[in-house]
Amino acid sequence: MEKLLEEEFSFAEKILEGYTALVCGASRGIGKATAQMLARAGARVVVCARDEDELNNVVSGLHGSGHVSLAIDLEEIELIEEKILGLLNEVGDIQILINNSGGPPGGPLIENDITDFDGPFKRHLYASHVVTKLLIPGMEQRKMGRIINVISTSVREPIDNIGLSNTLRGAMGSWSKSLSRELSPFITINNILPGFTDTDRLSSLSESISKKTGKKVDEVRSEWMNSVPIQRLIDPLETANAITWLSLPSSGAIRGVSLAVDGGRMRSI
């Protein structure tokens, strides 16, 4: 899959040349794959996550040169502004923002205490809002901006046993749709709704559901696969391919949408 997708983008290696992208949650999974695809398309990429060593490994493997890492904990809201302003001083304006972060633990929503909401909402909704506000002036000056939020199909169809995640993703979806009505005409904001994707997050989620329900991990994953028409997990690079497409200058007419990359799992139209 990686070879196939890279070959598909080989014809467009410079389509994002001259643009800079900030990819949050880029040390692994969909975030890492997105950084790879954006770099392949010619963008200078800033990879953001907590683990500096992992980020440096990602940067070293990206196509092209000039890529940068930014070690930051998105739950430390009070430090985000300082670090992003420092980044902008270093790399200049950023035209592409990928809001992405690890999801909360699984389990029934009724079992969550109110304090369980704090961390996930900080690193998703609060951090996305702060970073977006900081980058918008540069996007307006360049007259080009692309904001893509990696959330979940639970925006449309809540998923059993991840109630806190469902709640958070719904808030992100409404936040994004509201901004789509407010941003400048040349700045778009859209959501990607990943389905069952082959990431560490999915593995930990299946283990969490297994502990909560008593089902074996293989049984949990089998039930997932039986609900997906493509009958397999999605490669993170497939999701990154869709994100890169939404990031292109030619995608300016796509605004305020939630695009599912779910292998046909959702039943809604």
Q: What is the pLDDT of residues 95-108, one digit of tens each?
A: 999 999 988 888 89
* pLDDT tens sequence across 106-158: 889 999 999 999 999 999 999 999 999 999 999 999 999 999 999 999 999 99
In terms of pLDDT, which residue wins out, 207 or 47?
47
**pLDDT on residue 43:** 97
**pLDDT on residue 214:** 78
**pLDDT on residue 163:** 93
Provide the 3-class DSSP secondary structure of residue 131: helix
Provide the 3-class DSSP secondary structure of residue 193: strand
Length of the chain: 269
- Look at residue 212 and tell me if it is in a domain: no
Please tell me the distance from the alpha carbon of residue 261 to that of residue 191, in angstroms, as a whole number: 10
* pLDDT tens sequence across 2-40: 665 556 655 567 899 999 999 999 999 999 999 999 999
- Look at residue 217 and tell me if it is in a domain: no
Bridge partners for 22 per DSSP: 46, 97
Confidence of residue 73 (pLDDT cuts 50, 70, 90): very high
Sign of CA dihedral 44, 123, 156, 173: negative
Give percent of the chain above pLDDT 70.
Answer: 93
- Look at residue 221 and tell me if it is in a domain: no
The mean pLDDT value for 235-250 works out to 95
Confidence of residue 219 (pLDDT cuts 50, 70, 90): confident
The mean pLDDT value for 264-269 works out to 89
Bridge partners for 189 per DSSP: 147
In terms of pLDDT, which residue wins out, 8 or 173?
173
On the question of pLDDT at 210 being above 60, the answer is yes
- Look at residue 203 and tell me if it is in a domain: no
- Look at residue 192 and tell me if it is in a domain: yes
Distant-in-sequence, close-in-space partners of 230: CB < 8 Å, separation ≥ 6: 263, 264
**pLDDT on residue 199:** 78
Q: Give how many domains the chain has, as a whole number.
A: 1
Please tell me the distance from the alpha carbon of residue 39 to that of residue 34, in angstroms, as a whole number: 8
Assign residue 44 the CATH number of its domain: 3.40.50.720
- Look at residue 135 and tell me if it is in a domain: yes
**pLDDT on residue 106:** 82
- Look at residue 205 and tell me if it is in a domain: no
- Look at residue 46 and tell me if it is in a domain: yes
pTM of the model: 0.91
The mean pLDDT value for 77-89 works out to 96
Average pLDDT over the chain, rounded to an integer: 91
The mean pLDDT value for 224-244 works out to 90
Domain that holds residue 184: 2-198+232-261
Please tell me the distance from the alpha carbon of residue 158 to that of residue 167, in angstroms, as a whole number: 8
**Four-point Cα dihedral 113, 118, 123, 124, nearest 10:** 70
